[in-house]
Amino acid sequence: MQAQHEIENAMPAASDKLNIESIRRDFPILNLKVHGRQLVYLDNAATTQKPQVVLDAIQRYYTEQNSNVHRGVHYLSQLATREYEGARVKIQRFINAAESHEVIFTHGATEGINLIASSYGRKFVHEGDEVIISAMEHHSNIVPWQMLCEQVGAKLRIIPINEKGELLIDDLEAMINARTRLIALVHLSNALGTINPVKRVIDIAHSHDVPVLLDGAQATSHLKIDVQELDCDFYVFSGHKVCGPTGIGVLYGKSQWLESMPPFMGGGDMISSVSFEKTTYNSLPYKFEAGTPNIEGAIGLGVALDYLTGIGIDRIAEYENELLDYATEVIGSIPGVKLIGTAREKSSVLSFTLENIHPHDIGTILDQEGIAIRAGHHCAQPVMKFFNVPATARASFSFYNTKQEIDTLAEGIQRVIEVFG
Amino acid sequence: MSDISELYQQVILDHNKKPRNFRKLESANREQEGYNPLCGDQLTLYLEMDGKVIKDIGFQGSGCAISKASASMMTAAVKGKTKDEAEVLFDEFHRMVKGELDPEKEENHLGRLTILSGVREYPARVKCASLSWHTLHAALENKDEAVSTE
Ligand SMILES: Cc1ncc(COP(=O)(O)O)c(C=O)c1O
């Protein structure tokens, strides 16, 4: 089987190091030329590239399996249903959820958070209650809570950060009170690269009977996720940031919470019976999956996670840390470069500014060199405000990146400095 | 693909480093905010209107080299012009950076502003170059709301 072949390819015999050359061959897009230059893709925090096995799975779905799920007695529908539900089990294993029905398919991390804000929010957050987030959240873990708080008259409280971009966890204890209904926290910050001490946050929260939602949009591709060990109540992530397709994501929730929450959207699949007098809702996970789902997305995501598991998340994490250390050294030592986000616990993201040169100009000049980075506020305007910068340039790494690419980035930054004289 | 130095010409870099009319106008009788939410550019434009004439103009804010240079060159270009003359420049400039007006082939009043024509090769940067102009347009129309390029 092709998938198997490529996964084995990525594993050099009798060595713990990744075979990056072989891994890169799994990602056809990495061969692309951009403006006549070899593409250097360093925008992985925005989205990751997809290995051939994922592309093949999507192609295979549409050429051999396409049908609607859960609603046909015919061969194809059963096949599609089996693949779709098979993907759910793959995801369950990947995050080590206790039950597969605790895995809800969404269209991404954003929808997952909105689902909880809407459903959990409607049921459990009332006037005068409080929700806690942190000062380093992505807009998608700020705005849904602002909307909820405004709607019900609840209060949003913010755990502050220090100048390294680390969570001031000691402030959390004082912030929790009898009205705290939820803590929603980013696991790995997309703007700063900070890895939050989520286990400690969860322990503190649970000692006050407060549930915790983790935004794992960034963490899932860089850290081993074990939702039972973390004991988090909710965990969300996006397929497209873990080498899977866009338009698919996951909400993990502990059964007892999901059971007690009302549906998010109404429609087909999420009901067990409908009459004009009364509708009864379907059981988990279908209660939260109204309408025809993103079937090929789920299947593609399952294959992507298999691919990552085949390489080994621990080995990926180790290599990515090596890349980040190297980049921190090489980029950080360029005169005029200031790193934004220097937490002790950090992964995969290098946010920086360049003296007197706006990140947007850096982005355009690097693009001409074939180097893709992100320039902007990274959907984290409060973080930018905290560091008193309008924007940053951000290079973000994946396991298919190399030290040579970081050298190319360094040369590109020198070119930016040259252009601006 | 065009050379990056055509976008970042010396004149543009110079305006970026030493923007003209980069100050709050105490005599202003109109003030207008502009934002580019994508890159976080922010600009405040101050106008002193004498009837239909832009008697004085100033700006403050933060942004990339393109947006800052464009704002600087714009203030130099419209100072002393009438509202109608400024609106013509707005229209021509806007069409130039979108690639709809070729200043070398079509008649126009852009003068030195054509230095920014290189922007048309960089679609992601058109908003940077036009933020100040949209803000001016709104100020002349006397709109109260902040301008956003989104
Ligand atoms: C930390 C974090 N949370 C949430 C999101 C939102 O993810 P999506 O746009 O895939 O829903 C992102 C994406 O950039 C992110 O980095």
B-chain CB neighbours of A419 within 8 Å are 4-5, 8, 13
ipTM: 0.88
Query: Residue A3: what pLDDT?
Result: 46
Q: Residue of the nearest CA to atom 2 in ligand 1?
A: A217
The span from the CA of A276 to the CA of A378, in Å, is 46
- Tell me whether residue B126 is in a domain: yes
- Tell me whether residue B25 is in a domain: yes
| CB atoms near residue A143 (< 10 Å) | 16
Mean pLDDT, contiguous 10-residue spans, chain A (421 residues): 45 64 98 96 98 98 94 90 97 98 98 98 97 98 98 98 97 96 98 98 98 98 97 98 98 97 90 87 93 97 98 96 98 97 96 95 96 93 92 97 98 96 83
Structure tokens belonging to residue A356: 């007197």
- Tell me whether residue B99 is in a domain: yes
| Containing structural domain, residue B79 | 3-141
Strands (E), A316-369: 337-340, 349-354
Residue in A35, A357, A391 nearest the CB of B39? A391
A-chain CB neighbours of B39 within 8 Å are 358-360, 375-377, 390-391
Residue position matching structure tokens 């109260």: B144
- Tell me whether residue B149 is in a domain: no
Beta bridge partners of B42: B35, B62
Element (H, E) at B35: strand B30-36
The span from the CA of A47 to the CA of A61, in Å, is 23
* 3-state secondary structure at position A52: helix
Query: Residue A232: what pLDDT?
Result: 98
At residue B2 the predicted structure's pLDDT band, cuts being 50, 70 and 90, is low
To test the pocket of ligand 1, the residue of A138, A192, A248, A374 to mutate (highest count of ligand atoms within 8 Å of its CB) is A138
- Tell me whether residue B147 is in a domain: no
What is the tally of structural domains in chain B? 1
A149 assigned to active site: no
| CB atoms near residue A262 (< 10 Å) | 12
* 3-state secondary structure at position A294: coil
B11 touches chain A (CB under 8 A): no
B42 touches chain A (CB under 8 A): yes
Is it the case that residue B150 has pLDDT exceeding 70? no
Share of chain A above pLDDT 90, in %: 89
The pTM of this model reads 0.92
Of A22, A101, A104, A93, the C-alpha closest to A298 is A104
Domains of chain A: 2-51+313-419 (3.90.1150.10), 57-309 (3.40.640.10)
- Cβ contacts from A onto B, under 8 A: 55
Query: Residue A4: what pLDDT?
Result: 45
At residue B145 the predicted structure's pLDDT band, cuts being 50, 70 and 90, is low
Strand pairing report for A212-215 and A180-186: parallel
The span from the CA of A386 to the CA of A341, in Å, is 11
- Tell me whether residue B28 is in a domain: yes
Residue A241 C-alpha to ligand 1 middle, in angstroms? 8
- Tell me whether residue B146 is in a domain: no
B40 touches chain A (CB under 8 A): yes
Here the CATH number for the domain that contains residue B105 is 3.90.1010.10
A11 touches chain B (CB under 8 A): no
Query: Residue B36: what pLDDT?
Result: 85
Query: Residue B148: what pLDDT?
Result: 72
The span from the CA of A230 to the CA of A212, in Å, is 10
- Tell me whether residue B115 is in a domain: yes
